[in-house]
C-alpha cells in the first residue's frame, strides 16, 4: 500500500488494522511487516521507518486478533508505504479484494494464483467494470518423503525419495488505474453493494486420485449445501420438542389461516431474537426453544417446523439482510438470513419472519426486504421469490381544523399506518409513555397537543390508528396587512426537499413501494371570505415510478385539500434522479402556496 497524504484530514488513512482469524488451534499470521513514511524536507527525501515497538497486537476476541499500527512523522504531502504477508491455514477462504475506497486510487494491482486443485468462482461487484486477465502457468514443487521401515526378515531401512510435482496455477491479474472515490448518498441502503470488488468462492476441489468435492456452483447447489448442513436441515427436521406446546394451541379444527396466525404469534411471543443474523442456527432449535432466545435461523426454523407439524406447507427462504448486501451470484457466503414461506392451498405465498415482534404475514422488517430470496423445498430444490411487497405501505393523515376569530386554530388529526410503516411505528413508539409520544409529536408538528390516543397498538393484523387533538395554536395562520394566509395542509405540508445534491451516482432505495395521503378540512372564520385558493395540480414521474396529486375545493366555509404522494417502485435508478429532484421541488413549491382570506 502506498498512500499520498494531501491534507491533515487524510492522515486518518495512514493507519492499518490487520485482522487475523484464528479457529481450532489454527491461526493466520502476518509477517515481514515493513512500513515507511517519506517526507520532503529542504528538497531532500527523508525516510522514517515504523519501529517494531509501534506495532500493536490486540486480542480482539476469541476468533480474531488485530495487528495495528499508525504511521510516524506525517505531514502534508507525505507518502506512506507498507507491506506485509499474511499466511493462512484456511485455504478455502480468500479475502474479498476491495478495489474502491472512499479516497481515489491511482493504481491497483492484484495478482492471485490458485493451484489447479482448487477451483474458485469469482464474483464481481460495483459500478466500475474490472478488467482482469486470467492465465494459466505451470509450476513445480520439489518435495521429498520417506518410506516406513518394512517389517519382516531382511526388511529394508527407511528410504528417502524426492520428486517434483508439476501442476497448473490459475492466475488472475487485475491492473486498475484511476479508480474514483466512492461517496455515500442519502437513501442508499448499503454502499458496499456499489463498491467495486472481486470475491473468490471455493467451488470445488479436484485432487489427483480423489473425487471432486463440490462446494457451491449454482443456486440449487448452494441451497442443497445449506440444506444438508447439520445447522440447517437437521435442525429443521427436529420436531419432538415442540409437539407438547403445539397440542396446547388446539389447532385441529382450525382453518389454514387461523393455524398460521396462531403459530406465528406463538413463536413470536415465545422466542426473542438476539439481534444476530445467520442462515445457520446458533444455539440449536431445542436450546433456543427452551431458553427463548435465538438467532434468525433458530427462530424461523422453529416456526417452519411448527407450521409443518400442524400440516401447513411451509418452507425456509434463504436470503441476506440489507446491510449484508445483495447476492447477485450463486454464493454460500452471500446469504446470512432465513425467513419462512407458506404456500396456501389456494396457491398463494405468504412470507413470515418471527424475529420481529411486530411483523405480520407478508409484512417483513426492513432488513429482510432485500431483493429476492430462495425458497427451499423439502427435497432441497430451490426457487426464487421476490421479497419486495407488491402492496404499497401506506400512511394516511386526516386533519380537521377550525380557525377561530382570533386566528388561533383547534383541530384533530387522525393518522393510519399500514404495512412496514405500522411495523416501524410500533417498534419506535409502543414502549414509550404517552407523555413521551406527545412530546415527540409536538416537536414534529410544532403544535400543542391536549389529547392523544392510539388504537391497534398490538394488533399487528390491523393498521395503526392515532388520534390527536390540538387547541389554540396561534402560528398556523399568518396575518399580513389585513389578509390571512393559510397553508392548505397546515402543519402537514412537506417543506423540505430530501434530494439536495446536484448529482446522484447510486440508486435511491425506498425499500418498498409507498403511498402517503394527506387530507385536510379547514373551517375558516365567519368574518372572512376567500380571496384565492391554489390551483389543483398533478405531476408524474417517468415510467409510472410515482406521482403527486393535489386538489383544493371549497364547500361553504370549509376548504377541503387532498394530497397524494405515491411511489410504485422500491428502487429508483440514478438516471431518474434529476426528475425526482424537480418533482419534489415542484411538490414543495405547490404546497407552499397559500389560501388567502380577506375580511368580509
Partner 1 sequence: MKFYIQIKFLLVFALFPFSLFSQELSMSSLFIPKALKENANAVVRLNEKTITLDDFDHITIQEKTIITVLNKLGDRHIDLFKHYDNDKKITKLSARSFDAFGNQTKKYSKNKFDDYSAANGLYTDNRVKHLNYTPNKYPYTIVFEYETKSKSTAFIDPWYPINGYSISVEKSIYKIINDKKLTIRSKEKNFEGFSIENKSKDGNIHFELKNQKAIKHESHSPSFSDILPNMLVSLNKFSLNGYDANASNWQEFGKWMKTDLYDSRLSLSEETKLKAKDLVKNENDPIEKAKIIYRYVQNKTRYILVAIGIGGWQPSKAEDVDKLGYGDCKGLTNYTKALLDVVGVQSNWTVVYAKNKKNIDKDFTSMQGNHMMLNIPNEANDIWLECTSQTIPFGFLGRFTDDRDVLVLTDKGGVIKHTAIYKNETNSQQTEAKIILDTNGRINATVNITSKGIQYGDRYRIIDDTKEEIDTYYKNTFWDYINNLTIETYDFNNNKDEVVFKEDLKIFATNYASLLDKEMLFSPNIFNKYTRLPTRYRNRVQPLKIGTGFKDIDNFEIQIPETYKINQLPDKTIIDNEFGHYECSVKKTTPTTLQYNRIFQLNEGLHPKESYSKYREFIKSIIKKDNTKIALSKK
| Residues at the site binding partner 1, with contacts judged by CB under 8 A | 7-9, 11, 15, 37, 48, 54, 56, 58-62, 68-70, 72-75, 183, 272-275, 291-293, 431-433, 435, 439, 442-443, 446, 448, 475, 478, 480-481, 483, 485, 495-497, 500-502, 532, 585, 588-589, 592-594, 596
DSSP 269-332: HH-EE-S---SS-SS-HHHHHHHTEE-HHHHHHHHHHHHHHTT--EEEEEE--GGG----S--S
Rounded Cα–Cα distance for residues 420 and 424 (Å): 6
Task: Select from 104, 110, 80 the least CA-distant residue to 1.
Answer: 80
> What's the min distance (Å) between Cβ of 295 and partner 1?
10
Burial (CB count within 10 angstroms: exposed 0-12, middle 13-18, buried 19+), residue 202? buried
74 versus 570: smaller Cβ distance to partner 1: 74
Q: Which residue lies nearer to partner 1 by CB, 254 or 582?
A: 582
CA 355/CA 365 separation, integer angstroms: 9
Query: What 8-state DSSP symbol labels residue 52?
Result: G
Give CA–CA dist 359/519, Å, rounded: 28
**Considering the complex, what minimum distance in angstroms separates the CB of residue 409 from partner 1?**
14
Which residue, 386 or 501, has its beta carbon nearer to partner 1? 501
CB 72 within 8 A of CB 11: no
CB of 582 to partner 1, least distance (A): 10
* Shortest distance (Å) from residue 432 CB to partner 1: 8
Buried b (16+ CB within 10 A) or exposed e, 49-60: ebeeeebeeeee
We find the least distance from the C-beta atom of residue 105 to partner 1, in angstroms, to be: 17
CB of 310 within 8 A of CB of 259?
Answer: yes
Q: How far is the CB of 495 from partner 1 (least distance, A)?
A: 7
Of 571 and 588, CB closest to partner 1: 588
Residues 6+ apart with CB under 8 A from 329: 121, 123
Q: In this complex, which beta carbon is closest to partner 1, that of residue 122 or of residue 469?
A: 469
Nearby residues of 92 by Cβ (< 8 Å), 6 or more positions away: 118, 202, 215
Q: Pick between residue 363 and residue 477 the one whose CB is nearest to partner 1.
A: 477
Q: Which three cell numbers stand for residue 7?
A: 491534507
Nearer to partner 1, 150 or 291 (CB): 291
CA 313, CA 69: separation in Å to the nearest integer? 55
Q: How far is the CB of 352 from partner 1 (least distance, A)?
A: 21
Nearer of residues 227 and 445 to partner 1, judged by Cβ: 445
Distance CA 530, CA 524 (A): 9
Q: Are 515 and 547 in contact (CB under 8 A)?
A: no
CB of 447 to partner 1, least distance (A): 10
What is the C-alpha to C-alpha distance for residues 260 and 38, in angstroms, rounded to an integer?
67
Smallest gap, in angstroms, from Cβ of residue 439 to partner 1? 6
Instruction: Compare residues 512 and 559 and give the one whose CB is closer to partner 1.
Output: 559
Q: How far is the CB of 7 from partner 1 (least distance, A)?
A: 6
Task: Supply the minimum distance, in Å, between the C-beta of residue 82 and partner 1.
Answer: 15
Residue placing its CB nearer to partner 1 in the complex, 75 or 156: 75
Strand order in the sheet with 558-567: 449-455, 464-473, 409-417, 393-403, 514-523, 558-567, 546-555, 537-540
Rounded CA separation 577/583 (Å): 10
Chain position carrying cell 424461523: 300
Amino acid at each position: 500500500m502506498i498512500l499520498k497524504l494531501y491534507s491533515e484530514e487524510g492522515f486518518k488513512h495512514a493507519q492499518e488494522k490487520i485482522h487475523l482469524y484464528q479457529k481450532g488451534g489454527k491461526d493466520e499470521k502476518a509477517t515481514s511487516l515493513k512500513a515507511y513514511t517519506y517526507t520532503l524536507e529542504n528538497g531532500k527525501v527523508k525516510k522514517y521507518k515504523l519501529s517494531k515497538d509501534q506495532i500493536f497486537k490486540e486480542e480482539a476476541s476469541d476468533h480474531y486478533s488485530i495487528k495495528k499500527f499508525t504511521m510516524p512523522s506525517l505531514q502534508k504531502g507525505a507518502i506512506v508505504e507498507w507491506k506485509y504477508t499474511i499466511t493462512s491455514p484456511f485455504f478455502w477462504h480468500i479475502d474479498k479484494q476491495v478495489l474502491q475506497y472512499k479516497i481515489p486510487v491511482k493504481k491497483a494491482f492484484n495478482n492471485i494464483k490458485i493451484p489447479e486443485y482448487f477451483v474458485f468462482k469469482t464474483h464481481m461487484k460495483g459500478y466500475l467494470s474490472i478488467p482482469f486477465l486470467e492465465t494459466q502457468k505451470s509450476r513445480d514443487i520439489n518435495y521429498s518423503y520417506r518410506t516406513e521401515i518394512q517389517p519382516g526378515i531382511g526388511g529394508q531401512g527407511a528410504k528417502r525419495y524426492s520428486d517434483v510435482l508439476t501442476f497448473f496455477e490459475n492466475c488472475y491479474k487485475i491492473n486498475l488505474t484511476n479508480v474514483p472515490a466512492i461517496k455515500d448518498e442519502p437513501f442508499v441502503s448499503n454502499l458496499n453493494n456499489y463498491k467495486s470488488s472481486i470475491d473468490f468462492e471455493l467451488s470445488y476441489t479436484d485432487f489427483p486420485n480423489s473425487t471432486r468435492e463440490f462446494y457451491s456452483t449454482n443456486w440449487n447447489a448452494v441451497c442443497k449445501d445449506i440444506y444438508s448442513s447439520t445447522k440447517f436441515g437437521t435442525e429443521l427436521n427436529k420436531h419432538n420438542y415442540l409437539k407438547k406446546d403445539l397440542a396446547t394451541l388446539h389447532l385441529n379444527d382450525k382453518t389454514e389461516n387461523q393455524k398460521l396466525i396462531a403459530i406465528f404469534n406463538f413463536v413470536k411471543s415465545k422466542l426473542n431474537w438476539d439481534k444476530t443474523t445467520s442462515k445457520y442456527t446458533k444455539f440449536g432449535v431445542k436450546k433456543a426453544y427452551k431458553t427463548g432466545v435465538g438467532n434468525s435461523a433458530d427462530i424461523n426454523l422453529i416456526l417452519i417446523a411448527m407450521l409443518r407439524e400442524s400440516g401447513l406447507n411451509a418452507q425456509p427462504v434463504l436470503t441476506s439482510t440489507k446491510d449484508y448486501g445483495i447476492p447477485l451470484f450463486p454464493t454460500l457466503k452471500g446469504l446470512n438470513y432465513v425467513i419462512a414461506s407458506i404456500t396456501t392451498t389456494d396457491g398463494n405465498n405468504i412470507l413470515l419472519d418471527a424475529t420481529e415482534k411486530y411483523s405480520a404475514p407478508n409484512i417483513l422488517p426492513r432488513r429482510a426486504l432485500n431483493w429476492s430470496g430462495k425458497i427451499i423445498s423439502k427435497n432441497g430444490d430451490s426457487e426464487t421469490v421476490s421479497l419486495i411487497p407488491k402492496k404499497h405501505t401506506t400512511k394516511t393523515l386526516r386533519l380537521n381544523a377550525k380557525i377561530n376569530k382570533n386566528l388561533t386554530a383547534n383541530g384533530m388529526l387522525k393518522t393510519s399506518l399500514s404495512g412496514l410503516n405500522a411495523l416501524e411505528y410500533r417498534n419506535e413508539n409502543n414502549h414509550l409513555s404517552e407523555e413521551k409520544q406527545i412530546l415527540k409529536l409536538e416537536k414534529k408538528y410544532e403544535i400543542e397537543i391536549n389529547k392523544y390516543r392510539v388504537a391497534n397498538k398490538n394488533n399487528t393484523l390491523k393498521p395503526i390508528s392515532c388520534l390527536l387533538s390540538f387547541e389554540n395554536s396561534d402560528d398556523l395562520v399568518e396575518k399580513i396587512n389585513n389578509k390571512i394566509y393559510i397553508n392548505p395542509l397546515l402543519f402537514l405540508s412537506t417543506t423540505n426537499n430530501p434530494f439536495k445534491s446536484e448529482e446522484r451516482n447510486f440508486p435511491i432505495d425506498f425499500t418498498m413501494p409507498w403511498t402517503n395521503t394527506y387530507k385536510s378540512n379547514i373551517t375558516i372564520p365567519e368574518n372572512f371570505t376567500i380571496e384565492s385558493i391554489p390551483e389543483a395540480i398533478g405531476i408524474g414521474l417517468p415510467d409510472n415510478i410515482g406521482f403527486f396529486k393535489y386538489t383544493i375545493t371549497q364547500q361553504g366555509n370549509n376548504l377541503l385539500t387532498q394530497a397524494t404522494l405515491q411511489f410504485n417502485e422500491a428502487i429508483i435508478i440514478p438516471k431518474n434522479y434529476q426528475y425526482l429532484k424537480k418533482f419534489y421541488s415542484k411538490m414543495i413549491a405547490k404546497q407552499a402556496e397559500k389560501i388567502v382570506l380577506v375580511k368580509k
